[in-house]
């Protein structure tokens, strides 16, 4: 292990340092005030800008991308945290297909924006592999047939031989390749979005935690420690860090922690484990997710827990997980390790909508957030700028009470139960 000072920053922060933006210190008026400068808040702002609404104030308690948006695995692919089979069962075919398609549209939109606005965010276009952890190949083929039949999505099957030629491990018995997916540096993408917004006149303030909101008036009043914003519309996009800001919203998400690390630069050694540039996750409930980085590191994430852990502990746990798959990487150093909080709803779907008092919200993207946060930005922007209805099916996933500490304990128990089930299946 390296000296502990390596662990003060995430890999993303150390490779995309950001200058602290200024805090709100005045009283402003605007058309739309967005709270939270993660992917959802930034995508909402850009969705509004692209539809001609530019009188926007964006407030961020820490720095843009401070939460899950700037610390995630960097996978950009279709779908939600909720299993696609469940989505189909719960909504029926047409709405389920429509919502899934919106996530694919979001993947394309992210791609287009990166090109249109010339964002430098380490895009890797090699796709994403779903590797089969279990020996039963029928399951993987059933999943492929299901996606093709129900969602018209073709995940290319890889045989055991093909998989092992790309991923040098005995762990996997085959894979499905999602060619349309990609992976990238999420924090550089955040900074790219911020640059576009501020260049086009969006007023953005960091270190500006919202401490109170008055929402019973036609114009809503949002208060920070040193300033206020009067706005016609307010959009709350706070994810796992919503805290006490809005109890009605905070109660309906569970803040769940996940862990990520990055190895030292592996150089040629990376080839002993991986000969593909694709990102990888596996078919267990408690899956690993990892991807090769541009500078020959391996970024590795996994585990779900109800608390953040010290980086050293994260490094130890994840290094153990990595060596279970790639024992040939024994002896490599972990240079970065971090955890972060995601917001999960009990139904595992994003929560996007408008409260009776007219406050919009977009949250609950835990576990599969990059495309759905962009989807949220689009549908909220369409609603505000064009008066459009939210896509059918979303209203099924309303604000359900997450049961606070009890909910977290239940989530942890469920996770252990599924881990045990994975173990027994092996």
Quick check: 241 pLDDT over 90? no
Which positions ≥6 away from 44 have C-beta within 8 Å?
34, 235, 237, 362, 376, 377, 380, 381
The whole-number pLDDT of residue 196 equals 97
Is the CB of residue 207 less than 8 Å from the CB of residue 63?
yes
Higher pLDDT, 74 or 5: 74
Domain positions in the chain are 4-425
Fold adopted by 4-425: FAD/NAD(P)-binding domain (3.50.50)
- Angstrom distance (rounded) from CA 399 to CA 406: 17
Burial 5-20, CB ≥16 within 10 A → b, else e: ebbeebbbbebbebee
Least confident of 43-57, 238-252, 337-351: 238-252
The dihedral through the CA atoms of 268, 273, 275, 279 has a sign that is negative
Is the CB of residue 122 less than 8 Å from the CB of residue 277?
no
- Angstrom distance (rounded) from CA 402 to CA 28: 35
What tens digit of pLDDT does each residue of 364-376 get?
A: 898 888 999 999 9
Is the CB of residue 200 less than 8 Å from the CB of residue 188?
no
- Record the tokens describing residue 129, joined without a space: 């592999």
In the chain, % of residues over pLDDT 90: 75
The whole-number pLDDT of residue 359 equals 92
Mean pLDDT of 278-300: 95
Is the CB of residue 30 less than 8 Å from the CB of residue 55?
yes
Model confidence, pTM: 0.93
Any bridge partners for residue 94, and if so which? Answer: none
Going by pLDDT thresholds of 50, 70 and 90, the confidence category of residue 26 is very high
Mean pLDDT of 286-291: 93
DSSP assigned state of 392: T
Is the CB of residue 262 less than 8 Å from the CB of residue 90?
no
- Angstrom distance (rounded) from CA 348 to CA 128: 21
- Angstrom distance (rounded) from CA 175 to CA 129: 6
- Record the tokens describing residue 391, joined without a space: 């896509």
What tens digit of pLDDT does each residue of 305-350 get?
A: 777 888 999 999 999 999 999 999 999 999 999 998 888 887 889 9
The dihedral through the CA atoms of 379, 384, 385, 386 has a sign that is positive
What tens digit of pLDDT does each residue of 90-127 get?
A: 999 999 999 999 999 999 999 999 999 999 999 999 99
- Record the tokens describing residue 422, joined without a space: 């994975």
Quick check: 1 pLDDT over 50? no
Mean pLDDT of the chain: 91
Any bridge partners for residue 21, and if so which? Answer: none
Burial 355-372, CB ≥16 within 10 A → b, else e: eeeebbbbbbbbbbbbbb
């Amino acid at each position: 292990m390296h000296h502990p000072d390596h662990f003060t920053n995430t890999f993303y922060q150390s490779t995309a340092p950001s200058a602290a933006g200024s805090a709100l210190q005045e009283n402003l008026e605007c058309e739309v005030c967005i709270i939270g400068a993660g992917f959802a808040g930034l995508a909402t702002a850009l969705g509004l800008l692209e539809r001609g609404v530019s009188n926007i104030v964006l407030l961020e308690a820490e720095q843009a991308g401070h939460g899950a948006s700037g610390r995630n695995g960097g996978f950009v692919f279709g779908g939600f945290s909720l299993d696609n089979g469940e989505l189909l069962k719960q909504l029926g075919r047409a709405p389920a297909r429509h919502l899934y398609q919106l996530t694919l549209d979001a993947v394309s939109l992210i791609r287009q924006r990166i090109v249109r606005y010339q964002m430098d965010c380490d895009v890797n276009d090699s796709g994403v592999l779903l590797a089969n952890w279990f020996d039963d190949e029928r399951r993987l083929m059933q999943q492929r047939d299901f996606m093709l039949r129900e969602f018209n999505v073709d995940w290319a099957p890889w045989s055991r031989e093909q998989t092992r030629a790309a991923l040098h491990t005995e762990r996997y018995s085959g894979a499905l390749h999602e060619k349309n997916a990609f992976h990238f540096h999420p924090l550089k993408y955040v900074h790219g979005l911020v640059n576009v917004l501020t260049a086009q006149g969006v007023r953005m303030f960091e270190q500006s935690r919202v401490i109170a909101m008055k929402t019973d008036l036609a114009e809503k009043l949002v208060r920070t420690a040193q300033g206020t914003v009067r706005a016609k519309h307010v959009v709350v996009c706070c994810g796992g860090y919503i805290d006490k800001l809005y109890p009605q919203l905070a109660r309906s998400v569970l803040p769940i922690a996940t862990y990520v690390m990055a190895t030292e630069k592996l150089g040629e050694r990376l080839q002993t484990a991986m000969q593909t540039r694709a990102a990888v996750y596996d078919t267990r409930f408690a899956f690993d997710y990892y991807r090769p980085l541009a500078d020959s590191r391996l970024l590795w994430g996994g585990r779900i827990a109800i608390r953040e852990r010290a980086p050293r502990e994260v490094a130890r746990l994840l290094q153990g997980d990595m060596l279970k798959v790639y024992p040939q990487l024994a002896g490599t150093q972990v240079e970065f390790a971090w955890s972060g909080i995601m917001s999960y709803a009990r139904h595992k779907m994003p929560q996007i909508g408008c409260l009776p008092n007219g406050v919009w919200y977009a949250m609950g993207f835990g576990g599969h957030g990059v495309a759905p946060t962009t989807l949220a930005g689009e549908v909220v922007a369409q609603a505000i700028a064009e008066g459009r209805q939210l896509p059918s099916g979303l209203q099924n996933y309303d604000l359900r009470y997450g049961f606070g500490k009890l909910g977290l304990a239940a989530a942890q128990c469920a996770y252990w139960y599924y881990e045990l089930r994975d173990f027994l299946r092996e």
